[in-house]
Each structure stands twice: as C-alpha cells, then as structure tokens.
Amino acid sequence: MAEEIEQNDGEPKLYELGFLFDPAIPEDSVTVELTKINQFVESHKGTIESSGTPVLRALAYTIELTKAGKRLKYSQAYFSWIKFRMIPSEISALDLEFGKSNNLLRHIILHGNTGSVAPAPIRYVKKDVASTEIGEVKKVTEAEIEKEVENLIASTNIATANVP
C-alpha cells in the first residue's frame, strides 16, 4: 500500500495557480514578476502548460494586509493564472515559496481538470407570444344566453325530473 502511494506521488499531476500581484508594481514590471512565478514552478520540477496575462482588476472586496508594520488596503490587483504539471510532493514547498514573495497579495493552488472545459449552460429564449387582435365585440342578449344554456343542458342528457 505504501509503495502504491509512492508510485502515485511520483507521477506529475495537473494544477492551476491563481494569484494577485500588488497593484503598486509598475505595469512594465508585471511581466518580470510573472517570469519569477514561472521560475518558482520550474525550480520545483514543474512544467508550465499555459498561463494568463496579468490584468489589473477591481477586487470584489478590499484586501487588508500588514507589510513592514503598515496596514495596507487593496481594492485592485493584477490577476493572473498558470496551469502546470508537478509532482504532488513538491506542491507544499512551492506554496511556501509563494508565501515568501512580497509582491503577491494572495494565491491559491487548485487541482487541475484534465478534461476539457465544461460547456456553457443552455439558455432558453422566450419566444414572443403571437399577438391576437380582438375583433368587434358582439353584444349578446339575455334571451340568447338562456337559449344557449338550455341547449347545453339538453346536450348533456341530464334528467331534469329530479331537480327541485
């Protein structure tokens, strides 16, 4: 059993890394920081499959961090991601490396999906209801209504003898 775990541990698995860079980094230097992240992954025997270009985005909520004794608040950050393969035993060491980086606000490492991306959900479109124009309204007299009711009663074969 222990041998099976060691064999499975030696097989590289797919992971995804999502991270936020400090928005104070000059736009020119963001690609340099991304290169450093790629080097972290490769130094831990990882192979990068794909990555996203860092984009400055507004955050859903303010992130508060303490750096050099100062409380800093961030409402935007550079977001990027990397998809890579790595031996599972190296992931914890890689995670520690990211924790030491001063320019990373947050990061998360997820198990990657080897399959294709899930298809978009089917969206139903409501069709327009055909408009019906109301023609001329025909006035009906009480005599016509009574006659129609009697015809309906006669057609249903209800015995009127038992009706009080």
CA distances from residue 22 to 98, 107, 116 in whole angstroms, order as listed: 13, 12, 31
Q: How many CB atoms within 10 Å of residue 46?
A: 21
- 9-111: which CATH topology? Alpha-Beta Plaits (3.30.70)
pTM (predicted TM-score): 0.60
Query: 61 falls in which pLDDT band (50, 70, 90)?
Result: very high
pLDDT in tens, 101-150: 888 999 999 987 756 556 667 777 777 666 667 777 788 889 999 999 99
At 138, the amino acid letter reads K
CA distances from residue 163 to 88, 103, 134 in whole angstroms, order as listed: 87, 92, 39
Q: Where are the domains of the chain?
A: 9-111
Helix (H) or strand (E) run with residue 160 in it:
none
Enumerate the H helices of 22-107 as residue ranges. 30-43, 91-100
Nearest Cα to Cα of residue 98 among 30, 14, 32, 37: 37
